[in-house]
Amino acid sequence: MQYTKIVGGNGLEGEVPISGSKNACLPIIAATLLTHETCILHNVPDLTDTSHMLEIIRYLGSKVQRLEKNSWSITAQQVNYQAPRESAGRLRASVCLMGALLGRKKQAIVPIPGGCNLGARPIDLHLRAFETMGVTIKMQEEQVYLSAKNLRGTTLSMEGPRGSTVTGTANLIMAAVLAEGITTIQQASKEPEIGDLCHFLVQMGTKIHGIGTETLTIEGVDTLYGTEFTIQPDRMEAGTFIILGLLCGNSIAVTGTQRIFLQSALCGLFDAIPHMGEYCHWENDTLHVSHAEKMPPFSIQTRPYPGFPTDLQPQITVLASQIVGTSYICDTIFPERFAHVTEFKKFGMHIEQRTGAIYVHGRTKLQGTSVQAMDLRAGGALYLAGLTAHGETTIRGVEYVDRGYEHFETKLRALGATIERMEA
Catalogue the active-site residues: 116
Q: Which of 8, 239, 397, 404 binds ligand EPU (CB under 6 A)?
A: 404
The smaller minimum CB distance to ligand EPU, of residues 356 and 368, is found at 356
Q: Judged by CB, which is closer to ligand EPU: 229, or 334?
A: 334
Distance between CA atoms of residues 125 and 161, nearest Å: 10
DSSP secondary structure code for residue 311 in this structure: G
Residue closest to 157 by CA, chosen among 179, 189, 134? 189
Q: Which one of the spans 36-44, 123-131, 175-183, 220-228 is the region binding ligand EPU (CB under 6 A)? A: 123-131
Interacting span for ligand EPU (CB under 6 A) from 55-63, 115-123, 264-272, 345-353:
115-123
State CA 421 to chain mean position distance. Answer: 24
- Smallest distance from ligand EPU to CB 158, Å: 9
**Between 22-31 and 166-176, two packed helices, what is the crossing angle to 10 degrees?**
20
By CB under 6 A, tell whether 311 contacts ligand EPU.
yes
Residues 208-227 that bind ligand EPU (CB under 6 A): none
Phi-psi bin for 163: left (phi > 0), alpha (psi -120 to 50), beta? left
Q: How far is the CB of 380 from ligand EPU (least distance, A)?
A: 9
Stretch that binds ligand EPU, among 57-65, 122-130, 195-203, 409-417 (CB under 6 A): 122-130
The strand ranges marked E within 43-172 are 63-68, 71-75, 107-111, 136-140, 143-147, 155-157, 159-160, 163-164
Of the pair 37, 214, the CB lying nearest ligand EPU is at 214
Question: Mapping DSSP to helix (H, G, I), strand (E, B) and coil, where does residue 19 land?
Answer: coil
> Distance between CA 25 and CA 21 in Å, rounded?
6
Near ligand EPU by CB under 6 A: residue from 116, 144, 177, 415:
116
Give whichever of 76 and 123 is closer to ligand EPU, judged by the CB atom. Answer: 123
Q: At what angle do helices 313-321 and 235-248 cross, to 10 degrees?
A: 10
Using CB under 6 A, pick the residue from 52, 104, 106, 126 that binds ligand EPU: 126
Question: Which is nearest to 99 in space by CA: 47, 19, 196, 33?
Answer: 33
Q: Which is nearer to ligand EPU, 60 or 376 (CB)?
A: 376
CB of 64 closer than 8 Å to CB of 135: no
What is the smallest separation between the CB atom of 169 and ligand EPU, expressed in angstroms? 8
Per-residue contact flags (x/-) with ligand EPU for residues 141 to 180, judged by CB under 6 A: -------------------xxxx-xxxx------------
Beta carbons within 10 angstroms of residue 130's beta carbon: 24
Chain centroid to CA 123: 17
Nearer to ligand EPU, 162 or 413 (CB): 162
Q: What is the CA radius of gyration of the chain?
A: 21
**Closest Cα partner for 170 from 135, 222, 130, 226?**
130
- Which residues of the chain form contacts with ligand EPU (CB under 6 A)? 23, 26, 92-93, 116, 120-126, 160-163, 165-168, 236, 310-311, 333-334, 376-377, 404
